[in-house]
Structure 1
Amino acid sequence: MASPAHKIRFGNLSVTIWRNSSEKGVWYSVNPGRSYKKGDDTWRETDSFGYDDILSVSKLLDQAHSWIAKQMQADAKSRKAREEANSGDE
């Protein structure tokens, strides 16, 4: 399984950012999650949030949005540099 491109945490809340690619290009997706301990002290993950989690999750998503925007700019710059290097080979 592929590793996440980035993960942002705040307490038991997190947003995992995944880099995806296809013939159409690269895009990013996010999965918000909340960690909790089951009765037997086993850590579990859920995508269900309580009232007290909502604002914190929204702030994590805002941070994820900013990280993805910067990464997309870096991806575009890198792609442009590759294209310019390849055009010099012709």
Structure 2
Amino acid sequence: MSKPPVKEFRMGLIKATIWENQTKHGVKYTTTLTRLFKNGESWVESSRFGRDDLPLISKVSDQAHTWIFSKQQGE
């Protein structure tokens, strides 16, 4: 069973998900950027983005960076 993400930022259908990983050098964070879309009755995530998604990618990436940076400053 995988651990849940520690934080998510979402704007519309664009999402930045932050994962926390314990290493021998301390806590490290990784980020996944995805676009949600509906395929029939199911919601699916994709890592492919269209032109109009890019401004939202920029915004959620900045939010994720700020959150990670503030967490690492507190360590």
Question: So what's the TM-score if we normalise by structure 1?
Answer: 0.78
Q: Give the partner amino acid of 1:53.
A: D
Corresponding residue of 1:82:
none
Q: How does 1:17-56 map to 2 (within 5 A)?
A: 17-38=18-39, 40-56=40-56
Q: Take 1:26 and 1:56, find their aligned partners in 2: how far apart are those partners? A: 27
Rg larger for: 1
Answer 1 or 2: which has greater helix percent.
1
Aligned partner of residue 4 in structure 2, secondary structure: coil
Q: Take 2:67 and 2:24, find their aligned partners in 1: how far apart are those partners? A: 23
Structure 1 vs Structure 2: percent identity of aligned residues? Answer: 36
The gaps in structure 1 that reach 5 residues or longer are: 77-90
Q: Give the partner amino acid of 2:64.
A: A
Aligned length: 74
How far is the alpha carbon of 1:49 from its aligned partner?
A: 0.3
- 4+ residue segments displaced more than 4 Å: none
How far is the alpha carbon of 1:21 from its aligned partner?
A: 1.1
Corresponding residue of 2:16:
15
Q: Give the partner amino acid of 1:60.
A: V
Q: Take 2:12 and 2:54, find their aligned partners in 1: how far apart are those partners? A: 13
The gaps in structure 2 that reach 5 residues or longer are: none
Question: Cα RMSD between the aligned structures?
Answer: 0.8
